[in-house]
Amino acid sequence: VLSQIFDAFKSRLHDSNSKVNQVALETMHKMIPLLKDNLSPVINMLIPAMVDNNLNSKNPGIYAAATNVIQALCQHLDNYLLLQPFCTKAQYLNGKAKQDMTEKLA
């Protein structure tokens, strides 16, 4: 059930409408502390959706929301769950997003 919900939700995390995108990121930020490690089955799908375009966004609201989501993941999930997806993102992203992900890994 959780994977079905987040399958539908992930497209909102990189919606072409910046307001929808930002609200989805802010909503994700609120959900992380509630779901914690229960997110493990969907974390490999969610991290790319949250990170790919959002950490390099020129929209300050989207960038801030994406940064908050990454911070919440680091606070509320077991680091073991985040290691592989963060490494992958740090390896293939560019610009500010690459720097942000590398800092989180360190």
CA gyration radius, the chain = 12
Query: Does the pLDDT value for residue 106 go beyond 90?
Result: no
Q: Which pLDDT tens digit goes with each residue over 91-102? A: 999 999 999 999
Average pLDDT, the chain: 94
Q: Which pLDDT tens digit goes with each residue over 24-64? A: 999 999 999 999 999 999 999 999 999 988 999 999 999 99
Residue 13 CB burial class (10 angstroms; 0-12, 13-18, ≥19): buried
Q: Compute the average pLDDT of residues 60-71.
A: 97
Query: Does the pLDDT value for residue 67 go beyond 90?
Result: yes
